[in-house]
Amino acid sequence: KAGVTQTPRYLIKTRGQQVTLSCSPISGHRSVSWYQQTPGQGLQFLFEYFSETQRNKGNFPGRFSGRQFSNSRSEMNVSTLELGDSALYLCASSFQGSASQETQYFGPGTRLLVL
């Protein structure tokens, strides 16, 4: 079974631009969660999508948004990029989502650099 895939793996943008990242979950998984990893902050939860609906959201500004498609693939979008958005963005998939105490499987991440 193929694992979680994320595209692109690396991205360089400039301040003020917007960016879209993509995540394909493990086949059969319906929940996709997104996390931001920055040095010293660990992994911080952005949001979770389940069956095309946002089920949970972390404490990030509205510039961060996401969506999920009927095939469970998910995208996240960051608008008006700031230098502080430079981070590794990870997505994780599971069948029912973290509320079920089910293991989440992570993709390799997209490393975003904002100049």
Q: Which residues bind other proteins (CB under 8 A)?
A: 4, 33, 35, 40-45, 48, 56, 58, 90, 92, 98-99, 101, 103-109
Q: What's the maximum distance between 2 C-alpha atoms anywhere in the chain? A: 39
Q: Using CA atoms, how far apart are residues 13 and 23, in angstroms rounded to an integer?
A: 19
Which CB sits closer to other proteins, 17 or 75? 75
Nearest CA-CA partner of 92 in 5, 46, 33, 45: 33
Which CB sits closer to other proteins, 52 or 102? 102
CB of 44 to other proteins, least distance (A): 7
Using only C-alpha atoms, what is the Rg of the chain?
A: 13
Which CB sits closer to other proteins, 13 or 111? 111
